[in-house]
Structure 1
Amino acid sequence: MGNKHPNLQPSIPFSGLFKAALEACADRIYIYDGEGRYLYANPSGLEELGLSLEAVIGRSWRELGLPTGIMERFENDLQTVITSGNPQISLIIYSRDGGSRYYEYLLSPVKNTANTVQMVVATGRDITPLIEAEKQAQENQQRFRNLCEAAPDGIVLVNPEGAISLVNTQTEKIFGYPREALLGQPLEKLIPERYRRLQKHYRTTYRQSPSTREMGIGRELYGLRADGTEFPVEVALSPFVSQGGTQTIAIIRDITVRKRAEEKIRGLNRSLQHKLQELARANQELEAFSYSVSHDLRAPLRAMRGFSRVLWEDYGEVLDEDGKHYLSRIQGASQRMGLLLDGLLQLSRINRHELDRSKLNLSVLAAEIVNELRQEQPEREVNIDIQPNMIAAADSGLLRICLENLLSNAWKYTREQKYPHVKFTCLEKEGEQIFTISDNGAGFNPNYQSKLFHVFRRLHNEHEFEGLGIGLATVQRVVHRHGGTIWAEGEEGQGASFCFTLSPLNLKEKRR
């Protein structure tokens, strides 16, 4: 295509130094005449167009076949500069390879002596990284705002001067202010009057050496609501560096409900401690009373036994049958009274006994007790199965009392069975040992299960099975001293099972 404007030269006669500067410039530089035709393009501009200088000079963008959608806006800006004579910024967006590139052009008019625009110099550069950075900053800012709005705590952004520059919805709810009433206000607006002076000093100190401060660390803090009420808060601080300087993000948590709950718990603990002390005193008094009664009753009991024996030996021949019967009942009652006193003394001593826990083989201990039962009643044939190597951390003296009572009960309540059977086993469940002594004896009515471990409570008639009603209460106290629990399962005529646990104390430890 020939040059349609022969009066225009293919280039502008620049000075050598100026031309060298234009051609070395990384920015795209184009010079247009008053009708929008190219007069010059530097190497960067030609590279963008993909054309040579000879192909560009004297032609408009339409003649060069440049994209219409992009260049129409640029042409409008160019014509505005030519018409107005004022500089103009023009933004061109190229879509290439599925993405967009942004170019910013400064359109500067060059006027002649008649003050008419003779040429327009367009200086452009790729501002895509800047645009993308701005977009990313806006997205980050929006993401930050979204996170702030979704936060369960109040969030306040404080600028370097101590003024509030951002609050979230939760802050409005906590303090009772609309955010418009807080933005631009000093942070001290949210702090009780008596703390504001100290807060300003603290803010100055923090600004000199900003650092992250975790929530709940440091002194007790209080906030001030719009209605003038104060409330306890926890505050976390984090410095935030921006172009305007170091800002501070304050995360504020209203802990009013928690403080009330803590105070209530402290009150309950004080009340519980008081009741425990009262209970401990009552138990001590009760144990002292039981021990005193059991001990002091032995003297008249010994006198009753002694005089009844003398009466029988010296006057037995002159007593009729009724007299002998009454005397026999006195002796039997005094003997039973002695056994009751022994049981009560043993029961009272358990709580005073210093607990000495060590590794104990319950299987061996149970076998010793069974051998004693067989020696006492060699005529009985009872099938007794003891699981081997049942190990626990226990006080040997107290566990002997516990197993003696449970095994002797099983021995006693199976005597009416043709084939009496007793088992002592251990099962581990969820890391806890459950020891069980079961039998196929008389059993019990499960409706009265709650009475089993009460002192002097018996579910069987004394004429059926002898007993004092103290043994199971003693067993329960031994188990409780070891931090365990005990319970019973059974049915009338179908046997019974007594299960107990002991706290899993380290075998090397000892405790009272």
Structure 2
Amino acid sequence: MVDKNKTKKELMNELEELRLQFKDFERSIEDGTDIPDKTFRLIVESVPNGIVMTDNMGQIIFLNSQAEKMFGYARRALLGKSVEELVPEGFRHGHIKYRSSYVKEPRTRPMGEGRDLFALRSDGSQFPVEIGLNFANSDSGVVVISTIIDITERRNTEKLLNEREQRLREIMDNTTDAIIVFDDKGVVETLNREAQRLFCVNSIEKIDEIWATVTPENKENFSEKLNKVSEGKRITDYETERIGKDGKRISVSISLVYMNEGQGRFIETIRDISETLVMRNKIIELEKAQIIGKMAEGFAHHMGTPLASMLLRVQMLKDDIPDLAEYKNVGEKLNSIERQILYGQKVIQRLLRFVGRPENEKSPEIVSNLLEESMEMIRPLINKKGIVLVGDMEDNLIIFADTNLLNLVFSDTMMNAIDAMPEGGVLSIISCKDDETQFVNVKIKDTGVGISEETIPFVFEPFFTTKPAGKGTGLGLSVAKRIVHDHGGDITIESKEGRGTIVSISLPILNEEKIN
């Protein structure tokens, strides 16, 4: 009985042993030394494979008991018959040609060499086989010795494995995550359909090494994580960036496991989180906006009442001052205090209105007039700090604006410039028309301490400030950006540490038709 659990290698070894035995048998014939029939029969019957011997005409002259069981024939029913009786009808013509050619030029043919072969049982059923061929010379010509293995079980196992592999491939290709399998050296062995999409490769192209997808600044960190995973640790939800074949960076979340079976392999699951990060940032912005609203309400509550009280007292003092020339200077100072208090109340009202997102009250306004109003508000502070104020503003450039909100933007930006020049300097206010874009460009330029290159990307973030603790909330530029965008414009910052800052604000100009 054939042991179907034996490996192909074991069967090949048995065939080789059988071949050597037949070589001994052949030499004994050539030497004239007889081998007893009993010994010969013990040899061929002990082999766990089917053995069929044919003469040079293809007639069966011997078969062992394993061949009887394999083909379902009694031995006497096959002796003297053509070996083609054991070949399926569709293959017989080709087999006759091959057999004739083999007899002319006999050679040893190992198991599994060449074609897929099938044999025919007595009941007409076909089954897959592997056949090894050898030969011996006799007085009547070449004797062909066929060693036959029924590989039905092996084929069934291979089919089952192929089906499982196909199901696994279908599962991998239908998952929403990218999956890449690579070895200890980083050589990619498998990647699923989502990985091909994510990294911009098709079924023909491939990623040779996992390192081709890792950004330069993350290579060392990724190497450390591979070492940890190979030591038995598991990496999950590691957020980083990867690079596709098109050079585009992708925000991803990665999980890594290590399969330490034979040659070690890493299995990497990659999820594209680009949209998730966008949503996360939107939620953060919303939360910040809610905090701004609460702060604005608290600010209005705590500052509104004291300002109202101060305004009342200033107005009472003005009423009490005699209308005499010697008190004129005092009256002017009280008027200045009154203007500052009224301005503070307006700022509170603007902030509350903006946070509440009311319908803006916009009207055609001349940009230079708005800038002049803001400059007038900061002039006392500029004089006190020894700052030179330079204005170069083009006249009659009209925009559609909410006066209160844009004044808040201009004045707050100017205050930032003043704070950046504690030792004095030059504050330049410039406005001019861009004929190509039909926008007015406003530049507020200082010669102060400047902003570092690393800091600039964050200056418009809520609560971000470069000022010392207690000197600013970091709300000014974030609010200014929202106001400018609501006016259809844009705001940017250029700065170098120690060389000052330029805040550029662009706003769309109204044409005469829109003004009318």
Structure number with greater Rg is 1
Q: TM-score range by the shorter chain?
A: 0.3 to 0.5
Scaled by the length of structure 2, the TM-score of the pair is 0.45
